[in-house]
Amino acid sequence: MTKFLTSSLGKKTVMAMTGLFLCIFLLEHLYTNVQLFFGDGGKSFDEASHGMVHSIIIRIIEVVLFFSIIVHVYQAVVLTKNNSDARPVKYAVNGVSKTSSWFSRNMLLTGSIILFFIVVHLYNFFLPYRITGEVVEPEAQGEHLAERVAAALTNPYYAALYLISVLFLAFHLNHGFQSAFQTLGANTKKYVPILKMAGTAFAILMGIGFASFPILFFIFGEEFLNWNL
């Protein structure tokens, strides 16, 4: 097992599995965020977030999530370095773009931007809600999580960073989603076209879904939490 995990195929398999796990997290995160659109002042979003914090299952998944991010990033850096070392002299081929997509050639770039945003995102929301207590739980007096989110998304700088990061997330998923399944064995002529379409569809869904938050809050302001009033 150790020999397999340290091999090129093993590293790619681990990165594929952690990547797909992170895709599942994105779906869950999007579902939770959509509750900001319920028009109840963010109550549903706050209660959902509070419920996850106090669920032992979610807490375990949370640990796995952080571990997956670290492993995914580490394996990406190692594999990129290994590929670079195996090809010390760059190919003098002008038509490289004809044999590979921009998405596949720039996975480390798009992943780095996503990682930067994750750090900023955790600093703005996870830290004040889970560590410092600046953001309070639903029934307590003070700033609630939905209010903190609304305030951040109406800030032009954070909204711009959010949109840019979501764009690169979509780019990353467009190749990464189908590539993960191919690494795990679904790389036949029958499945590759289907996986490419599925990857593009998933990337578009995540891109449009997450981009809707900064766009709508920036346009309508923090009052968008009560949009139906």
96-120 tens-digit pLDDT: 555 567 778 888 899 999 999 999 9
The answer to whether residue 98 is domain-embedded is no
State the Cα–Cα distance between residues 47 and 138, nearest whole angstrom. 6
Note the helical H segments in the chain.
2-5, 8-34, 43-53, 56-86, 96-99, 102-105, 107-121, 145-153, 156-183, 192-220
90 pLDDT more than 60: no
Say if CB 130 and CB 86 are below 8 A apart. no
Quote the tokens at residue 100: 């590979």
pLDDT in tens, 35-68: 999 999 999 999 999 998 888 888 898 899 999 9
- Number of Cβ within 10 Å of residue 59's Cβ equals 12
Domain count, the chain: 1
Domain that residue 186 falls in: 8-86+105-226
The answer to whether residue 97 is domain-embedded is no
pLDDT in tens, 145-176: 999 999 999 999 999 999 999 999 999 999 99
State the Cα–Cα distance between residues 143 and 42, nearest whole angstrom. 11
The answer to whether residue 2 is domain-embedded is no
In the chain, the amino acid numbered 55 is S
10 pLDDT more than 50: yes
In the chain, the N- to C-terminal Cα span, in Å, equals: 59
The answer to whether residue 111 is domain-embedded is yes
The answer to whether residue 93 is domain-embedded is no
The answer to whether residue 3 is domain-embedded is no
The answer to whether residue 55 is domain-embedded is yes
Q: Residue 156 sits in a domain of what CATH number?
A: 1.20.1300.10
pLDDT of residue 229: 47
Quote the tokens at residue 191: 């499945």
Report pTM. 0.88
Q: Does 73 or 100 have the greater pLDDT score?
A: 73
29 pLDDT more than 50: yes
